[in-house]
Amino acid sequence: MGSILNYILLGVSLSAPVGPVNAAQMEKGIRGGFLQSLSVGVGAMLADILYMLLVYLGFYHVIMIPVVQSFLYFFGSFVFLYLGIESVLKTRTLTRASMTTVAPLQGLRYGFFLALVNPISIMFWVGVYGSVLAKIVEQGEADHLLLYTLSIFVGVFLWDNVIALLSSSLRRFLNDRLLRLITLVSGMSLLGFGIYFGYLGILSVL
């Protein structure tokens, strides 16, 4: 039981650091409520599951090839810069009345795509889950692999609920000015990640 709790806490700690997915969850939650925020988090979690599956199947060797890493950095940079510019430009005319409700399925797709193109997320899960696999095998607990993996995702899901609850609770304070500010901060955050990934991409080819 103690091991399961440890892996749940690992899932929470892996999700807690501020990143593009957490920023998107906060924005969607404040603008659209609990379900919109949660759907983004669940979509990102599906991308995490995909990457963990690739690690389990041994594809991490491909991901760690330098030319592949460079491509991931530059592609991620392009996507985040595009989304960031789009978000910043939107702040000029955005009002509460102009907002459209995003269906949970759209939130799932958005969260999945956001996590899928995040190069840090890719390499992070490769490193973390690769280490988890090695530890489980080393301790002779390979038969508990599925249980421990599910425990990690229980922790991730718990954190998604915390973010969704927190952001949706802030909706009552939402007005046009605050909405534009939130969208601007979210856009600048995406731009920042885009510039950072572009910088890492340039370093990787030097």
Closest CA to 156 of 196, 198, 185, 128: 128
Helix, strand, or coil (residue 103): coil
Q: What pLDDT sits at residue 202?
A: 92
Q: Return the structure tokens found at 188.
A: 């600048």
How many whole angstroms from its chain centre is CA 33?
A: 18
The residue range of the domain holding 97 is 2-12+19-205
> Which range is least confidently modeled, 61-70, 160-169, 196-205?
61-70
Single pTM value for the model: 0.71
Spatial distance between the Cα atoms of 158 and 161, rounded to a whole number of angstroms: 5
Task: State the total domains in the chain.
Answer: 1
Q: Is the pLDDT at 44 greater than 70, yes or no?
A: yes
Express each pLDDT in 79-112 by its tens digit: 778 878 887 887 776 665 555 555 667 888 888 9
Torsions phi, psi for 95 (to 5 deg)? -140, 165
- Which two tokens mark 123? 């390499």
